[in-house]
Each structure stands twice: as structure tokens, then as C-alpha cells.
Amino acid sequence: MKSVSIIAFFILLLTSGTSIAQTFQEGNLIGVHTLRLNLNPDVTFNEYKANFKANVAPAMKEYLEAEVYLLRSARGADANSVGIIYIYESDAVRSKYWNQDGSPSELWQTQIAKIQDIMDKNNELGTWSSDYNDWIVQ
């Protein structure tokens, strides 16, 4: 039940009318990731966030057809955790880039090579792994 509450909160946050909010359409795929973020010792979260917003998110939109938002939990079961939301137009679009087992597709590998310098810079600041769920807007 807590997971459903957390997901509902993030969906409300994204649709709340803020300047970056997106209106979901039926069939959109929303990937919600809870990260295990390991920042390098000399990097702050604010530095990581600035790079992510300025470089990673726009590149993901242009080359991987995904709106991407970095999140930071304010309270609840996962307080002080970090997350990412991926928004794809549809499950079909997501499936172009990710295989059914969650591994990257050949197209993903081709497209990520085009932004490898951006991803390398991001990895210099910190690395992460995640658990995720993909949700389809009904």
C-alpha cells in the first residue's frame, strides 16, 4: 500500500500544474525508479542534480524519447532517497529501447553511444543502480 501511495504522490506532483508538469495521456508508460545513488566524495547532490537537469534529461529526451525527472524524497518510507521518473509516449516506444527482460535493446545501445560523453560526465559525478516498476496510464 505504501508503494501505491508513493506512486500516486509522484503522479500528482507531475500533474500539479507546475511549469515542468506534463499531462499524462492514456497509454503513456511511466517508469518509476528508486535509486541507490553513490556520489563521488567531492560531489554534492546539488551538483549532480544540476548536471542531470542540464545535460542528461535533455539528451534522454532527444535520443531516447523519454521525459526524465530526477526526484528526491521529502518524507515517508523512503525519506531521503532519490528517484527518477521516465515518461514514454507508450509501452511500444519504451520497448524500442528496452527488451522485455529489462536489458537495453540494440537501438538503445546505438542511441546511448551518441550521448556517451554526457553519460560519462554524469558517471564521473556518481553512479547508481535502481529498482523500478513500469506503469501504464489507464
Task: List, for residues 15-34, the tens digit of each pLDDT value.
Answer: 444 444 568 999 999 999 99
Class for the domain spanning 2-136: alpha beta
Give the sheet arrangement for strand 82-88, strand by strand: 67-72, 82-88, 29-39, 126-136
Q: φ and ψ at 125, to 5 degrees? A: -80, -35
Q: So where are the chain's domains?
A: 2-136
- What percentage of the chain exceeds 90 in pLDDT? 76
CB 123 within 8 A of CB 12: no
Q: What is the rounded distance in angstroms from the CA atom of residue 25 to the CA atom of residue 7?
A: 16
What is the pTM for the complete model shown? 0.80
Q: φ and ψ at 96, to 5 degrees? A: -70, -30
- Overall average pLDDT of the 103-127 stretch: 97
Q: Residue 80: left if φ>0, alpha if ψ -120 to 50, beta else—which one?
A: left
